[in-house]
Amino acid sequence: HAADAQRTDLMTITRYVLNEQSKHPEARGDLTILLSHIVLGCKFVCSAVNKAGLAKLIGLAGDTNIQGEEQKKLDVLSNDVFINALKSSGRANVLVSEENEEPIFVEASKRGRYCVVFDPLDGSSNIDCGVSIGTIFGIYMLQEGSEGTVADVLKPGKNMVAAGYCMYGSSCTLVLSTGTGANGFTLDPSLGEFILTHPNIKIPKKGKIYSVNEGNAKNWDQPTTSYFIICRYVEKAKFPIDGSSPKSLRYIGSMVADVHRTLLYGGIFMYPADKKSPNGKLRVLYEVFPMSFLVEQAGGQSFTGQGRALDIVPKNIHERSPIFLGSYDDVEEIKALYSAAE
């Protein structure tokens, strides 16, 4: 029986990645090994997040990162765990973390062919109240002949060979794409294994939810194209003029959780530019790119207000960009508003 098979013939994330690898006869298994070290990092952070309240890990570590935010102990811990896991994999080369101003170059004896960009623990404002937070990562292949420089990661998101996130929520869910669709795995705590629970995720073509920090509306308040477009879209979501029902608003303030819901239920997630953040808030390399990669792999779209998000060529590792991502039709609507405004 299918149900029996599900219970006794488990598709773990390792098995899934090995299956994918076997489709590429030239593959040496390096990506599989790298991913298994990332998975280890996710399990560690999941366990730390679950224990945080108890272990009194929550609190300030007394350090500020380059964005000027106070780092929480859990951020520092997660960053250390991922850096160590990636270095020890022997497959990583250049690493970019949200928590480190400069890229990290793995020492020659441990170097591999992959570059990893990551936000070890995203959603910092949600840590202390137990709301979902997550890890986001993207993987590039080292350029042919390169020894590993920052140029290896200043590449458009469409060049990524894999991307994913792990959400530490009511369950621990890892969504991964190696470029052949997006798949979701849920951690079975009793086995310590991620099991395939959301095969071949397809985002609904059109959604009924919009997700944006409307509290920023005052900062949208400037006579720019972007201002009118966001306002018009949000007004229309609340007061539709075509007789359809109003959309629901959902905004958690953790990108991983907001994007995860968007992937499964459909709709649109937006972080536009505003007066305070002229380039938006979210970081291109380790927030916008991996999430856009996954949304496209699930059949949705990701747009910056100017073009396809995965086409951005980043000039520096902590660059930001406005972002609109989600269901194909919903993003199409935003794109139409931008084209009409040109």
The amino acid that residue 106 corresponds to is V
Residue 20 to residue 178: CA distance in whole angstroms: 8
**Closest approach of ligand AHM to the CB of residue 133, in Å:** 8
Buried b (16+ CB within 10 A) or exposed e, 254-266: bbbbbbbbbbbbb
Query: Of the two residues 30 and 69, which places its CB atom closer to Mg ion in the complex?
Result: 69
**Closest approach of ligand AHM to the CB of residue 282, in Å:** 6
Q: Does 211 participate in binding ligand AHM (rule CB under 6 A)?
A: no
Among 36, 197, 213, 279, interactor with ligand AHM by CB under 6 A: 213
The amino acid that residue 144 corresponds to is E
Residues 276-335 that bind ligand AHM (CB under 6 A): 281
69 binds, among Mg ion, ligand AHM, none (CB under 5 to 8 A by kind): ligand AHM
Q: Does 124 participate in binding ligand AHM (rule CB under 6 A)?
A: yes
Residues 48-77 that bind ligand AHM (CB under 6 A): 69
List CB contacts of 242: < 8 A, sequence separation 6 or more: none
Query: Of the two residues 43 and 283, which places its CB atom closer to ligand AHM in the complex?
Result: 283
List CB contacts of 148: < 8 A, sequence separation 6 or more: 93, 94, 105, 106, 111, 115, 142
Among 6, 88, 125, 171, interactor with ligand AHM by CB under 6 A: 125
List CB contacts of 256: < 8 A, sequence separation 6 or more: 122, 123, 132, 133, 134, 135, 136, 165, 166, 167
* Pairing status of strand 92-97 against strand 114-122: parallel
**Closest approach of ligand AHM to the CB of residue 324, in Å:** 13
Query: Of the two residues 20 and 119, which places its CB atom closer to Mg ion in the complex?
Result: 119
Q: Does 254 participate in binding ligand AHM (rule CB under 6 A)?
A: yes
Cβ(278)–Cβ(272) below 8 Å: no
Among 52, 166, 230, 255, interactor with ligand AHM by CB under 6 A: 255
Residue 299 to residue 232: CA distance in whole angstroms: 25
Count the site residues for Mg ion by CB under 5 A.
Answer: 2
Query: Of the two residues 122 and 330, which places its CB atom closer to Mg ion in the complex?
Result: 122
Residues 64-123 that bind Mg ion (CB under 5 A): 119, 122
Candidate ranges 55-63, 118-126, 139-147, 319-327; the one touching ligand AHM (CB under 6 A): 118-126
Q: Does 209 participate in binding ligand AHM (rule CB under 6 A)?
A: no
Cβ(280)–Cβ(226) below 8 Å: no
Query: Of the two residues 152 and 258, which places its CB atom closer to ligand AHM in the complex?
Result: 258
Find tokens 């380790």 and name the residue: 286
Q: Which residues is 210 bridged to in the sheet? A: 249, 268
Note the residues at the interface with ligand AHM (CB under 6 A): 69, 98, 122-125, 213, 253-255, 258, 281
Binding residues for Mg ion, rule: CB under 5 A, are 119, 122
